[in-house]
Structure formats: structure tokens, C-alpha cells
Amino acid sequence: MTVHPNPLLAPWTAPFGLPPFDAIRACHFEPALHEAMRQHLAELDAIAAQGEPPTFDNTAAALDRAGALLERVRDVLDVLNASTATPELQAVELAMAAPLAAHDSAVMMHAGVFARLDAVYQDRAALAPEARRLVERLHLDRVRAGACFGPAEQARYAQLMQELAELTTRFAQNVLADEAAFERVLGPDDLAGLPAFVLDAAEAAAAQRGHAPGTRVVTLARSLIEPVLTFAERPELREAIWRAWQGRGEQAGPHDNRPIAQAILTRRLEQARLHGHTSYADYALADSMASEQAAVGRLLGEVWRRALPQAERERQALIAMMRSHGLAGEPAPWDWRYWSDKVRQARYAVDETQIKPYFELSRITDAAFDCAQRLFGITLVPRTDVPLYHPDVRAYEVKDAAGASLGVFLHDNFARPGKRSGAWMSALALQSANRAQPVRIILNNNNFARGTPTLLSLDDARTLFHEFGHGLHGLLSQVTYHRLAATQVAQDFVELPSQLFEHWLTEPEVLRRHARHWQTGEPLPAALLDKLQAAKLWGQAYATVAYTGSALVDLQLHAQTDAAAAADVVGFERETLAQLGMPPAIGVRHRLPHFLHLFGGDDYASAYYVYLWAEVLDADAFNAFVEAGDAFDPATAERLRRCIYAAGNTRAPAEAYQAFRGRAAQLEPLLAKRGLLTGAETAP
């Protein structure tokens, strides 16, 4: 058998069908992508050219199988550019953005295929439920991509998609460039208040960047930024770090994202108008659980109204703490975390430096895996014989309760140069019976600061559980059709499995079992656990306001019906926040010039609200276990697996949730979780 010289196009013979990462080079991607696009279009032409009348099998099911090679190659490029980018890979990503977008438009607007699919769609009532769902999704995908437009509108729409693909790629690369370029070398005056785990992480970051031994640097990894803002006694250091973090994408020069964001918004508005909508928000929300701006606005408005007074109570507590230390004035944004931690220590005697020794990375990873085993029966077994794209990555074979292999899980946990910030789940293969694809290849990326050992904050641990919740959505998916697999669900439903899984981290029995001191192995002391539970509402208003402010800015930005309204995105953000009454000392979680959720792609554009929408669902869903009297109740867990984690997009989101819970979600559990029912944080 002749082996193809391009490893992206040759058969992948590694365990689980993993890519041959050691053989793949940047130069392989462009020819592989062009060949895969050619094959994909040939598959579509064959579907359209059939002599037989259109049926579900020869049209919808065939369409679901088409494009597998292209998807495989694109997924590898996306994974490498997100996790271990090089200038060569980024050049490929930018060069191929427009051709890939043009191909996507050609696929979605393929007249012969759409005519056959539309015929099947018109007769879908007689199909089995999952088949009918596939037809409806495939049809809607194409309608929303311009399949029903006339020739002139299709040509313009395809051009818009190419321009948007290039712009969003540039936006994301600019953020990565700003994050990679910044470092603050810590001098002797900067060290006051910084715990050993922060200093260790700063020294590891310096070593990664080639500094001499003993040097410590702060980079723009959130896992370093937040502890420095929490513990650094020197206000000048906190301010410098905060301004660098907030200023990403907002500096004049080659990485200035302000004009790029404005260009994206202009094209999105034109895209929406081609679909007959007056704003991009109307277009985007039409295919969501919320379905319209008013529903999103009601949720965000209710939470905002309740959170602002509580945030003011938190601010007054910070001011009182500052006065007790002899300081006048008001807390600045770079001061909030520092003084908030002082209040938490005073009220609850909870100090993060006491907690972190019990949250060592490998133990928290074990905790996540153990919870998955107890809930869903799966086990994760380390594998050291598989190809990986970076030495940081750890591989695990995933087995079901009967010992059958489901696939492989890749865990990539550390911040490093060339890796974008944040945390995310991705996939190199999704289970699909129609594609004869039984193996799942699921990845989780985090950006923890490397230490010896790596000690996590409670927020870091939640992030690990959150992403593993997404991972479980991919690993447990059990569907017939690829288009309906795993996380390919409505954007305001996709965060339910991830946010729901976070709840198990702070279950007392989980903490008692897994939160153990990294040196002594002693469990988290009961007294400290009690303090953690007592303090869990402190700081919730700050987090709620920072997040909801970002969501409200996003919604209002994409609700504009005049492109000129957002010609200055920074000015728009400033004016919108002033109108909302955003406390200046809090500020938004994400500034527009580096808001990757909005401008690094379109998944979260006018949809940053989805985390809160899903939190309504996850808070209500976890109450099903509370009502059962057991956080690991087998019957509830099996219903959760079947209706949510395994179901993919085989049912409408509201229907899937109703099947699990027996009713629609209620708002009160979310308000209680965030301490917003009474309007006052629990008294000390």
C-alpha cells in the first residue's frame, strides 16, 4: 500500500485514530485542506446528481456523512493554533480563513443538494424523531446560511462570510500577540504579599520565556493575573498588571483590534439584513432557546437589578476595610480583589493560601474523574503510548461501566507561550453511527500557572470541572447522526452540562475525599470546609455584575440597527456601561477590544448571556439531586446521562430539559446560588 506523503491525508493508524502529530508540519495543511474541500464538493455533487427521488437515506443521511475528511483536517489545525501556535501555523490559519469560508458557503448554498433536502424536509413528518431532527437541523443550517437567497444575494453573502472569517482570525491572533508580548519582571519591591505558590508560578513563567534562574515574571495568563491582583500589597504593581490585562487589543499599532471589531460589526449587520432582520442580535437569537432579545433582556435585567445593590454592599465593606488600614479614598478596579480577600479573611477566617495546598492539580483531576465514575460509570485510564501535540498533554482512555472503550480524553492544563488564554473543550472526533465513528477524541484546555506542585484556587478548580463537564458532553454522546452529536446544540444550552458538573466540586463528600494536603495527604479540615461553605456567597455580587455587564454590552452592541452606532467600540462600551450604572470599581469581565467570545468567532456574538441562561438550568437541575437526597443518586444520574449528556441535539433543548426534570426550569435556584434572593449576603 502506498503511503500518502501528506500525513493529514494518509490513514491515521495511531491508537484511537489520533493524528500523527509528530509528522504533521505547517506546510501540510494548505494542500490537505484544498484536497479535502475538493473531495467534499465531489460528495455533494454526487448526492445532487442521483437519479433516484430524494429520500432521507440518499439525501439527509448522505449529507450527514459528507465532509468527514475536511472536518478532520480543520480540527487538527484549530487544535494546534489554539494550543501551540507558531507563526507558520498562524500564517496558514489566516491564509485559509477566506477559502474555507467560501467553501462553507458553497456547501450550504449547493442548489442541487438543497433542492433534494428541501423535498425531504417537506415530507419529514413521517420520519422517526431523530431522523426528523437531523433533517430539520440540516435544513435550517442552510436557510440561515443563505440557501434561499437569489444569486446576487448569495454572492454577497459568501463574500461577507469570507471577510468575517479573515477579520475574526486577525482579531484572535492580535489578542494572542498582545498576551505573548507582555511580561512584568517582579523586582524586590513587588514581592510583598505574594504567597509562595504565586512566586513559584512566576518563576516557572520566567523560565518558559528564557529568563535566568531566579527571575520571576507575571504574564497575562489569568491564573497569574488574578492571584497577583488578590495578594500583591503594592498598589502600583496591581495597577500595572490590571491595565495590561484590560488593555489587550486596544493599543495603536499592528495588533489594534478596535477597527477590526467595528468592521466585524458592520458586516454582521449586513448579514442580518440579508436575512430580513433589523439587527444581528435578532438574527443570532432566532436559533436559540431564548429566541428573542426580549427574553434575554428580561433575564439579564432581573439579575442586574438584584446584583447592583448587593455589589454596593460589598463595596462599602471594602471601603470599611481600607479605612481600618488607614487608607482614604475609594477602591479602584485593581484594588477590588485585594480588599475583597481581606474582608473574606476577616469575616470568615478563610485565606486562599490556606485552601490552595488542598487543591493540587492531580488530586482535583482525580476528583473530576471520580465524580464522572460515580455518576455515569465511566473510568479514565492513563495512556502513555499515544501521539500528543505537546509534552504538557496527558492522555486517558475512557471506558464505560462494562469496560468497553469510548475513546480518548486529552488534558492540556498549563499556560505557555503560543497557547491562547482561557479554557475550552474541543474535539478531534465525535461519536456517530452514521459515519461509523465509534471513537471519541475529546480535549480539555486550561491555563493554570505551572508550579511545583501546581496548586489551584477554588476558581481554577471550578474551571477544571467546568471544562470536564463539556468533555463529558462529548465523551458520553450516543447518537446516530454526526450533525446531532455532543456539543452541537443551541448556544444557550451547551453550557448546561459544563456548569452543572461544577456543582459536584464543592459537595462536602467530594471535598473530604479529594481535597487533601499536597504534602501530608491530610483531608481538608472540617473547620476550613465549614468556613468555605459559610463564605461561598461573599464576592458573588462582584462576579455577577462583572459578567452581566459584559453580557448587556454584548446584547446592546449587536442590537444596533445602524452600523455607525458602534463606529467607536470603546466609546460605545463606555457609554453603555455608564447608562447601565456599572460601578467603576468593578468593570466588565471582558473589554470589547479583546472579547474573543464576540469577535474571535461568531458562536457567542450577541450570546454571551448564555452562561447565565444555562445557570438557570444548572441550578434547577442540581436541585433534582438535592430533592433525591443524594448528590450521586443513581436514578437521577441515569436520567441526566440519557436526557442531557448522551442526547446531543437529538431533541429540542427545552424538550430535553423537560424530559430530565419533568418540568421547565425555575429562576429561584439561580438567585439563591448567587445570593440574590434576599438582596443581602449571608451575615458573618
pLDDT at residue 680 tops 80 = no
pLDDT at residue 405 tops 70 = yes
Q: How confident is the model at residue 587 (pLDDT cuts 50, 70, 90)?
A: confident
Which residue numbers are catalytic?
467
Q: How confident is the model at residue 404 (pLDDT cuts 50, 70, 90)?
A: very high
The grid coordinates listed for 285 are: 437569537
DSSP-derived secondary structure letter, 263: H
Rounded to whole angstroms, the Cα distance separating 45 from 233 reads: 66
> 591 vs 164, 239, 599, CA distance in Å?
20, 16, 11
- Find the mean pLDDT for residues 132-159: 98
The grid coordinates listed for 623 are: 436541585
pLDDT digits (tens, 9 = 90+) for 5-49: 999 999 999 999 999 999 999 999 999 999 999 999 999 999 999
In this prediction, residue 563 carries a pLDDT of 86
DSSP code string of 140-173: HHHHHTTTTS-HHHHHHHHHHHHHHHHHHHHHHH
In this prediction, residue 678 carries a pLDDT of 65
DSSP code string of 83-152: HS--HHHHHHHHHHHHHHHHHHHHHHT-HHHHHHHHHHHHTGGGS-HHHHHHHHHHHHHHHHTTTTS-HH
In this prediction, residue 664 carries a pLDDT of 95
- Find the mean pLDDT for residues 318-331: 97
Tell me if 179 sits within 8 A of 248, measured CB to CB: yes
Q: How confident is the model at residue 574 (pLDDT cuts 50, 70, 90)?
A: very high
- Helix or strand run (H / E) with residue 68: helix 68-83
Rounded to whole angstroms, the Cα distance separating 106 from 155 reads: 10
**Cis before 453? omega within 30:** yes
Rounded to whole angstroms, the Cα distance separating 639 from 565 reads: 47
Percent of the residues in the chain that have a pLDDT greater than 70, as a whole number? 99
In this prediction, residue 2 carries a pLDDT of 57
Tell me if 582 sits within 8 A of 238, measured CB to CB: no
Strands 440-448 and 405-414: parallel
In this prediction, residue 626 carries a pLDDT of 97
The overall average pLDDT reported for the chain is 95
Closest CA to 246 of 601, 588, 606: 588
pLDDT digits (tens, 9 = 90+) for 472-505: 999 999 999 999 999 999 999 999 999 999 999 9
Rounded to whole angstroms, the Cα distance separating 12 from 68 reads: 14
- Residue 663 has φ and ψ, to the nearest 5°, of -170, 175
pLDDT digits (tens, 9 = 90+) for 239-253: 999 999 999 999 999
pTM of the model: 0.94
Q: What is the dihedral of CA 389, 393, 399, 403, to 10 degrees?
A: 90
Closest CA to 676 of 543, 569, 493, 496: 543
Percent of the residues in the chain that have a pLDDT greater than 90, as a whole number? 94
Looking at 488-539, list the stretches that DSSP marks H as alpha helix, in order from N- to C-terminal side: 495-502, 508-514, 526-534
- Find the mean pLDDT for residues 646-653: 97
Q: How confident is the model at residue 533 (pLDDT cuts 50, 70, 90)?
A: confident
- Find the mean pLDDT for residues 454-481: 97
pLDDT at residue 683 tops 60 = no
pLDDT digits (tens, 9 = 90+) for 68-86: 999 999 999 999 999 999 9
pLDDT digits (tens, 9 = 90+) for 339-389: 999 999 999 998 888 899 999 999 999 999 999 999 999 999 999 999 999
pLDDT digits (tens, 9 = 90+) for 421-440: 899 999 999 999 999 999 99
In the block, residue with C-alpha cell 490556606 = 354
Structural domains for the chain:
15-108+110-144 (1.20.1050.40), 182-246 (no CATH), 258-350+540-608 (1.10.1370.10), 357-534+611-645 (1.10.1370.40)
In this prediction, residue 206 carries a pLDDT of 95
The grid coordinates listed for 118 are: 428541501
